[in-house]
Amino acid sequence: MLNLENLSKSFRGGSFGSGAVPAVRQVSFSIAPGEVTSLIGESGSGKSTIGKMILRLLPVSSGRITFDGVDVASLEGSALKEYYRKVQGVFQDPFSSFNPVFRADRIFRMLEREYFGDLGAREWSAKLHTSLEAVGLNPADVLGKFAHELSGGQLQRLLVARALLLDIEILVADEVISMLDASTRVDVLNLLAGLKERGLGVLFITHDLSLGHYISEHTVILRRGVVLEIGETAKVFGNPQHSYTKMLLASVPRLHSHWEPLEPGEPARTGPRDAPRGRGRRARGQPLEPVPLLVEVEPGHLVAFEDGGTATAGDER
Ligand SMILES: Nc1ncnc2c1ncn2[C@@H]1O[C@H](COP(=O)(O)OP(=O)(O)OP(=O)(O)O)[C@@H](O)[C@H]1O
Ligand SMILES: [Mg+2]
C-alpha cells in the first residue's frame, strides 16, 4: 500500500527566481493493491509532479509518501533498489524512454545486470519471453529492434513488460494512453485492467475523464495542486459535488449525441477528451487560495469545502 500524506511540492521560481511556486499542496490519498486510482486534472495541475515524487524523481517539499509504512524519502542503497523493484513508472511519450542509438530491448539488459545477475542465460531468456507475452508482444517481433522500428503501442508494452519483470506492486502510468491511436488505446487499457487483476495497484494519471471513469476504482480530482474531490469513481462521477468536478463532467460531450452550434454568449465547450485547459495557473500577483478542507459527503466520497459556494473554478470564467 502506497500512502501520500499531506504531500506538497514547491518549485523555486517566481519573479527573478526568488520565492517558491507551489505545484502540489497537501495532497493525501492511497493506492491499494488490485485497484486503479485515477489522478485527473487539467494541464499544470500537478499530476506528473505527484507521480515523480512517488518515483523519487523529485524530492518532496513537505508531507510524506510511505510504502508499506516506510517513508520513501528515507530509502537508500539496497532498500531503494528494492523499492524500485516494486514501484515503477511508465510515461506519456514512450519514444523518450528509449535511446535511439541502441536497440529497444537494451532496457531489459540493464535490468538483467541490475536485478537478475544470478540467473542463467536460459532462465533469463525464458523469464523475458514470459513477460513480453504477458503484455501481448511476440518476442520475435520486438527483440533486436530499434525504437524507430516499433510502434508507440509496442514501445509502451515493452515498458510495461519491463515493469512486470520486477514483480512490481505499484505502477505509475502517466498519460500512457494519450499518444496512442484509438485501437491501441483499447489494448493498453485492457492491459492495465489485466494488471490490476494480477493484484497491482495502478496510479493512472490522465486529463481524460472518460478514460479515468472507464478504468479506475478510485478517482482524485486535482486542480492547481489541490484535491477538490476524491472517492470511489462511481460516486465521484455519478454524484459529483464540487462545482469544478461538475464543470469538468459537463464539458465531456455524451457519446452518440451530435455536435450543435452554440448560441452567441454561451460558454464554449471544450474538446471531447480534454479537461478545460489553461485555467490551472494562478495569475501573477493573485493571492494563493487556502487549501480547502475535505468534507465527507457520503461514505467513500470527500469533497473540498467551497466557501459560500462562490470561490470555485466554475464561476471564474
Ligand atoms: N521542474 C520544474 N520546475 C519548475 N516548475 C515546475 C517543474 N515541473 C513542473 N513545474 C510546474 O508545476 C506545475 C505542475 O506541473 P505538472 O507537470 O505536475 O502538471 P501536470 O498536471 O502533469 O500537467 P500536464 O497535464 O500538462 O502533464 C506546473 O505549473 C509546472 O509549470
Ligand atoms: Mg504531466
Q: How remote is the CA of residue 278 from the centroid of ligand 1, in Å?
A: 12
CATH number at residue 6: 3.40.50.300
| pLDDT tier, 310 (very low <50, low <70, confident <90, very high otherwise) | very low
Atom of ligand 1 nearest to the CA of 58: 1
pLDDT per residue as tens digits for the range 284-307: 556 777 899 999 999 999 999 987
CA angle 293, 208, 7 (to 5 degrees): 35
Cell numbers at residue 169, please?
506492486
From 4, 24, 25, 45, the mutation candidate for ligand 1 (largest count of ligand atoms within 8 A of CB) is 45
pLDDT per residue as tens digits for the range 227-280: 999 999 999 999 999 999 999 988 876 655 666 665 665 554 444 344 444 444
Amino acid at 229: E
pLDDT per residue as tens digits for the range 13-62: 766 666 788 999 999 999 999 999 999 999 999 999 999 999 999 999 99
| pLDDT tier, 96 (very low <50, low <70, confident <90, very high otherwise) | confident
pLDDT at residue number 261: 63
Is residue 107, in this structure, part of any structural domain at all? Answer: no
Range of the domain at 246: 2-98+170-183+195-255+267-315
Mean pLDDT of all residues belonging to the chain? 84
Least confident of 66-70, 94-98, 193-197, 244-248: 94-98
Enumerate residues lining ligand 1, CB below 6 A. 11, 13, 23, 41, 43-49, 207
Q: How remote is the CA of residue 26 from the centroid of ligand 1, in Å?
A: 16
Mean pLDDT over 136-162 rounds to 88
Total domains, the chain: 1
Does 316 score more than 50 pLDDT? no
Using an 8 Å Cβ cutoff, are 228 and 33 in contact? no
Atom of ligand 1 nearest to the CA of 51: 18
Least confident of 89-93, 106-110, 183-187, 241-245: 183-187
Is residue 106, in this structure, part of any structural domain at all? Answer: no
CA distance 299 to 281: 32
Q: Which residue puts its alpha carbon closest to atom 8 of ligand 1? A: 49
Nearest to 14 by CA among 289, 285, 290, 291: 285
Burial 13-37 (b: 16+ CB within 10 A, else e): eeeeeeeeebbbbbbebebeeebbb
Is residue 103, in this structure, part of any structural domain at all? Answer: no
DSSP 8-state code for residue 71: E
Is residue 137, in this structure, part of any structural domain at all? Answer: no
Q: Which residue puts its alpha carbon closest to atom 11 of ligand 1? A: 23
Q: Which residues contact 101 (CB under 8 A, 6 or more apart)?
A: none
Atom of ligand 1 nearest to the CA of 24: 14
Q: How remote is the CA of residue 20 from the centroid of ligand 1, in Å?
A: 13
